[in-house]
Structure 1
């Protein structure tokens, strides 16, 4: 069941790598608590500041405690996933000044890492309820 306290994962809806990441979270999440919204959509426009919706190089998470970007957003999501993925939070010990440049390197090259799929994943009923415009 979703509510206004559920985290929202904002992603680049035109990016194959980002779409893969959303599918990964959907497949591996523990309790189906996460909501999803493209950075190009209405939810992002009404929820995030304009500078965040223009920067498509970062996944963004709106959590009950605030807005998280880059590696902080990724580490926030790990406990929502099934084991063994929460164990990767150990990498949060790596200082932010190292983590975020690595994140940015992957983000800058994400279109080369994975192309947009030729066909879209058809969400099931539960997934559709969590996909925000």
Structure 2
């Protein structure tokens, strides 16, 4: 694994709810992470795939370890420090960890119904309007 200067938060840039959530983070959560839409990220260099990035938000730490879903959010909050750190730490401890995972999956499965969500959020990335098609 390649050591990186900063952690990276990878999200679905085609999803309105995901983008709105990232904008909240950028305004209110003082993370050291680089925040990038998976559509513009070098996923191979980050040690992940488009399929995983489509499925869940990802946190790639400085050592290259990838965490997804609720655990990515927990690591983001812990990275922010201050009052955010205890909340992130709590999300990592069972049974809160298990509950957070369930809530994350529920939200992710219904993100097209969430505030800021769009119908495109319900489609796999390859089927979204403007998606790049593989060349024949």
State the TM-score, normalizing by the size of structure 1.
0.69
Q: What's the counterpart of residue 4 of structure 1?
A: 4
Q: Is the contact between residue 28 and residue 81 of structure 1 (CA under 8 Å) also seen in structure 2? A: no
Aligned length: 112
Describe the shift of the 1:67–1:91 C-alpha distance in structure 2 as closer, same or farther (beyond 3 A).
closer
Cα distance between partner residues in 1 of 2:86 and 2:41: 34
- Alignment of 1:14 with 2:11, yes or no, is no
> What is the CA RMSD across the aligned residues, in angstroms?
2.5
**Dislocated runs of 4+, deviation >6 Å:** none
2:103 partner SS:
helix
State the TM-score, normalizing by the size of structure 2.
0.68
Map of 1:25-104 to 2, 5 A cutoff? 25-30=25-30, 33-50=32-49, 53-55=50-52, 56-65=54-63, 66-81=65-80, 83-88=82-87, 89-95=89-95, 96-104=97-105
Higher mean alpha-carbon deviation, 70-79 vs 98-107, is at 98-107
Measure how far apart 1:112 and its partner are: 0.9
* Unpaired stretches in structure 1, ≥5 consecutive residues: 118-133
Which protein has greater RCO, CA pairs closer than 8 Å, 6+ apart? 1
Describe the shift of the 1:83–1:111 C-alpha distance in structure 2 as closer, same or farther (beyond 3 A).
farther
